[in-house]
Every structure is written in C-alpha cells, then in structure tokens.
Amino acid sequence: MAQIVILPDELVSKIAAGEVVERPASVVKELIENSLDAGAKRIVCEMENGGKRLIRVSDDGSGMTYEDALLATRRHATSKLTSSDDLLSIASFGFRGEALPSIASISKMEIVTRTKDDVAGTRVAVAGGEVKEATEAGCPVGTSVTVRDLFYNVPARRKFLRTTQTELYHVVNAVTSLALSSPEVAFSMTHDGHTLFEFPFSSSVKDRVLSVFGLGFVKSTLEVSSESPLARIYGFVSTPETLGSARTRQFIFVNKRPVSSRSLVHAVYEGFGLEGRTRHPAFLLLLEIDSGSVDV
C-alpha cells in the first residue's frame, strides 16, 4: 500500500496559507499592497481586537468586475502576470495570485468592489476558502476586503497569536512602513473604533516623514541623495550626534517595497564607523533600481 498520498485541496490551501499569513499584520500588508497595485489614492484600515476578530482594508482604487472578484479568490489567479517574460521585470507588489485565496482559506472573508465602468458593484463572501455567496452590491468605486475570525478553522495557529497589543504593534509597523514609501497615498487606521493615525496625501517623502515621525525626527537626521547609472537612493539618516541605544526606525525600500537587507544595513553602519554596534542610527532609505535587476 502506497505511503505517499496526494493531499486534499483544503489541506493544501491551509498549508500554503501558512507561508503567506503568519499573523494579522501579514493580512494587512497583503491587502494594502493590493490596494497600492490598484492605484488607490486613499487607503483605510480598520481593526478589532488586534486584527484577530476583524480586519477591513478599503480603497478607492480601480476595483474589480464580478468575474475578476470571483477569480481573485482562486489560487494563482492574478492580473499582474500574463507570461513568464513578465517575471523578468516585476513592477507590482503582488504577482503570484496567492494573497487573497490564502487569507480566504483561513478566515471568513468578504470582498465588496466596483469598477468605474460598472453601474453596480459585487459582493463575494468566502469562508474557509469556499465561496458562499456572490451577488450585486451598491458600493463606491474601489475595493473593500473584510477579514473576520482569522485562523478560525486552524485552532493550532490561532492559539499562537499574541496579545491584542502585540498584534496591533505589528500591524501599525506594517502600515507605517508602506505609508512611508507611498507618500502620494493617504492612509488612515482605526482600532476598536478609535482613530490611531491619519496620514494625508503628501507631495514628498519628507512631508510624509513629518506626518509619521514629526519635526523632531527630521531635525535629527540628514537628508541624503545620490544617483548613478544603476540606481538612485534618497532618504534620511541620523546625524552622528543623535545615534540611539536601540535599533529602531530603520527602514529600507527597493522600488517602494520594504526589504530586509543585511548588506545595506551593514553599509549604513560602516558609514558611521560603528563596528561594535552598541549605538544605532535611525534611517529611511529609498532605493530606485530597474525592476529587471531585482529578484522579488
């Protein structure tokens, strides 16, 4: 008797979801990146109980048709790739077609969306990866995705979620990071009905940094800018006098995508001559490079 078996689709979906969704912050990050890819100019994030009970991300982006809203819940369905050649130059945040179906497989999800060409919008309700309802709905142009009861059908994962405040901390960090690299988009966030922050549309990264961190941060940093035939880098770095004892407010973006790069962080510390790393600079660096030169 064969010992190797083909896993059922439901189990495959839950395993795959674990690679995309670790906690509420993962959900918020994926949904906001979808909003940015849709050309949104305003993004609203609402949460309850640290995102464990409810997450809602609404935008004024391009929206989806009825057909696309249904396809969006299916794995590997995407509007961002059409051929293998597209993999050589990824310009969007998402492209694998995994985010929404992964989230839908471990939550109760509702998508409400409309394009500017449609008179009526679409509402799609999904639970545990199964489409329960798909109907017309009255709604503005854009998309609103509501995620309820995250990991409700994966109790082993749900019990490893941390306290409400810890999960909220991670969500705020994720939203703040994306807001810093997209100053042309307005962001707001509420938790349990209370407004946590509102970042209005900004005409520059510097204005967004002012909105997020305040004048004190800007005054304690140096504005840096450099350009070569290969790349352009812009941002803010601590002055030597304002190095801190903790590794906080360190952000690196490549083509607006938040990245973790030991080599780039090491380069910053080398620039300060900080070999022991007992003192730490704050920095926000945005690197622009040809998308064909970046592996995402």
pLDDT at 274: 80
- Please state which CATH class domain 205-289 belongs to: alpha beta
Task: Evaluate if residue 216 carries a pLDDT over 50.
Answer: yes
What are the CA-CA distances from residue 293 to residues 21, 251, 258, 259, 271 (Å)?
27, 21, 16, 15, 25
Among the listed residues 191, 189, 185, 202, the one whose alpha carbon sits nearest the alpha carbon of residue 53: 191
Task: Evaluate if residue 222 carries a pLDDT over 70.
Answer: yes
Q: What is the mean pLDDT of residues 254-262?
A: 92
Q: Which two tokens stand for residue 127?
A: 């639970």
Mean pLDDT taken over the chain: 89
pLDDT tens digits, one per residue of 129-159 = 999 999 999 999 999 999 999 999 999 999 9
Sequence ranges of the domains in the chain: 9-199, 205-289
How far apart are the C-alpha atoms of 45 and 250, rounded to whole Å? 23
Angle at 191 between CA 186 and CA 193, to 5 degrees: 100
The CATH classification of domain 9-199, taken from the options 3.90.920.10, 3.10.20.30, 3.40.50.1580, 3.30.565.10: 3.30.565.10
**pLDDT above 70 covers what percent of the chain?**
84
For the entire predicted model, the pTM comes to 0.87
Task: Evaluate if residue 94 carries a pLDDT over 60.
Answer: no
Task: Evaluate if residue 220 carries a pLDDT over 90.
Answer: yes
pLDDT tens digits, one per residue of 16-27 = 555 569 999 999
Task: Evaluate if residue 60 carries a pLDDT over 70.
Answer: yes
Confidence of residue 292 (pLDDT cuts 50, 70, 90): confident
Confidence of residue 214 (pLDDT cuts 50, 70, 90): very high
- Contact between 134 and 128 (Cβ < 8 Å): no
- Contact between 170 and 186 (Cβ < 8 Å): no
**pLDDT above 90 covers what percent of the chain?**
75
